[in-house]
Amino acid sequence: MFTGLIQTIGFIEQRDRLVINCPDLVAKIAIGDSIAVNGVCLTATKVLSTGFMADVSPETLGRTNLSDRQLKYVNLEMALAVGDKIGGHFVSGHIDGIGKLCDRAIVGNSWELSFEAIPEVARYIVFKGSIAINGISLTISYCNDSGTNFRVAVIPLTYDNTTLKYLDIGSSVHLEGDLLGKYVEKFFKAGNSPASVHHNSTITPEFLIEHGW
């Protein structure tokens, strides 16, 4: 489990077995650790003097852009440890799909980035909701009704310390929708409403309102 708060930027040195240079982070890495690489949860299989190695399955390569030769820099985040602060939102490291950067603009002292999302991801995109873009926890500041087009506001600290600054218009990005939204979606699918699943439950909408929810 991750939070979408990037710890450092790594550089891809090798791709047949992924080797990532990250001298700022290497002292914290042990074999077997889970590391989010541009939002993709990978396992460190070897620790090197200036980075780490990770094996990437064909399934992961098929669902991500990690095999793209133009991809040089990646966001890195170590998995949460017990007691760590959760400053972003719950990020699983399991990518829902690929999106692309459509526009970039400076607004005030921040950046506004516009993205396009495929329908599989778009259904989890809601105004003021959370989304992970290349592993970065961001808040949606605008989206169309379908969620296929959305915008995020990025402060200079985030922009300067993540790979967002390396993106060109049309660049592909990893998108992961809000995990909580996925559970809510599944719960209400196929008639699995609170009334049908928990018909004997004493928790009702009236109960929740009465207790401040």
Mean pLDDT of 33-52: 98
Reported confidence tier of residue 185, pLDDT bands at 50, 70, 90: confident
DSSP characters over 55-99? ---HHHHHHSSTT-TT--EEEEEEPP-TT----S--B-S---EEE
Tens digits of residue pLDDT in 157-179: 999 999 999 999 999 999 999 88
Is the pLDDT at 182 greater than 90? The verdict is no
Is the pLDDT at 204 greater than 80? The verdict is no
| Rounded distance between C-alpha atoms, residue 195 and residue 200, angstroms | 8
Provide the pLDDT for residue 193.
55
CB-CB contact of 111 with 159 (8 Å): yes
Provide the pLDDT for residue 202.
60
Is the pLDDT at 122 greater than 90? The verdict is yes
Domains of the chain: 8-78 (2.40.30.20), 97-188 (2.40.30.20)
Provide the pLDDT for residue 188.
76
Q: Dihedral angle at the C-alpha atoms of 111, 112, 113, 117, nearest 10 degrees? A: 150
- b vs e for 190-200, b when ≥16 Cβ sit within 10 Å of the residue's Cβ? eeeeeeeeeee
Reported confidence tier of residue 66, pLDDT bands at 50, 70, 90: very high
Reported confidence tier of residue 65, pLDDT bands at 50, 70, 90: very high
Provide the pLDDT for residue 77.
98
Reported confidence tier of residue 98, pLDDT bands at 50, 70, 90: very high
Mean pLDDT of 56-85: 92
Q: What is the mean pLDDT of the chain?
A: 91
Poorest-pLDDT segment among 10-24, 84-98, 176-190? 176-190
pTM to 2 decimals? 0.87
